[in-house]
Amino acid sequence: MPILELHWASTLAESETLIARMAKALGNEVEGRRLVEKMQADRQVLAWTQPPVGTAAVLQANRGTNGRGSLMNELLGLSGFRNLAAELGLPAFGRMSLETVLAGQPDLLVLDAETNANPARGTEFVDHHLMKVLEERAKVAQVPMKYAVCAGPESVEVLRRLAEARAAVKPGTAAR
C-alpha cells in the first residue's frame, strides 16, 4: 500500500498544495483542481482589500489564542482585522489573559460557542463578568475552532463569519 506523507497545513496556500498532492495520489486531479479553484474564488469574494477595519482578539479554551504564523492570523488579515495576539508577539498557539484582551481594546472578539456549550473550567471564561464588559465594547463573532485549526475548504466558513462581523464593526468605534 503506498504511503503519502503530508505535513501540517497552517496557511491557505499550503492547504491548496496538499489538496493537489492528495488528489494526484488518489488519481483524481480534476476534482482536486476544482476544489482548489472554488476555495480561491470564495476567498476572492470574501477577502477585504481595503485597510484593516479594526483589531480582533481570538479567545479559546484555557485562555488560548492564535498569534503569529497561525491560520487564524491569516484569516483575520484576509478579513480586514489586525490580530491582537500577533501584535503582542504571541506564537501560533499562545495564551492571552482576559486583562490583556481588555487592555488591547479589540473591536472584535472571536469566540467558539460550540466548545463552550458544556461546562469545563477551560471554557467558563465566557461567563466571566469581564466578558460582558468586553462584549459591550466589541462585536462578537462565533467561529467554530474546528474550522480554524487546519487550513482547508472549511476555512472559507471562517472568512464568511468574519466578513459578517466586519460589516457590523465600524473602524474605531470600540469605546476607547
Cβ count near 171 (within 10 Å): 13
- Given a contact cutoff of 8 angstroms between Cβ atoms, the answer to whether 39 and 153 are in contact is yes
Indicate whether 119 belongs to the interface with other proteins (CB under 8 A).
yes
Measure the CA angle with vertex 173, ends 127 and 117; round to 5°.
Answer: 20
Interface region with other proteins, contact rule CB under 8 A, candidates 23-31, 42-50, 118-126, 149-157 = 118-126
Interface region with other proteins, contact rule CB under 8 A, candidates 1-9, 23-31, 49-57, 101-109 = 101-109
φ, ψ (nearest 5 deg) of residue 174: -60, 130
With CB under 8 A as the contact rule, the residue among 10, 55, 73, 123 that binds other proteins is 123
State the nearest-atom distance from the C-beta of 97 to other proteins, in Å. Answer: 5
Q: What are the grid coordinates assigned to 124, written together?
A: 467558563
Indicate whether 4 belongs to the interface with other proteins (CB under 8 A).
no
Dihedral-angle region of residue 80 (phi above 0 means left; psi in -120 to 50 means alpha; beta otherwise): left
Distance CA 101, CA 127 (A): 15
With CB under 8 A as the contact rule, the residue among 4, 41, 45, 117 that binds other proteins is 117
With CB under 8 A as the contact rule, the residue among 42, 100, 152, 163 that binds other proteins is 100
State the nearest-atom distance from the C-beta of 73 to other proteins, in Å. Answer: 19
Closer by beta carbon to other proteins, 81 or else 125: 125
Distance CA 122, CA 62 (A): 4
Residues lying near other proteins in the complex (CB under 8 A) are found at 61-63, 95, 97-100, 102-103, 105, 115, 117-123, 125, 128-130, 133, 175
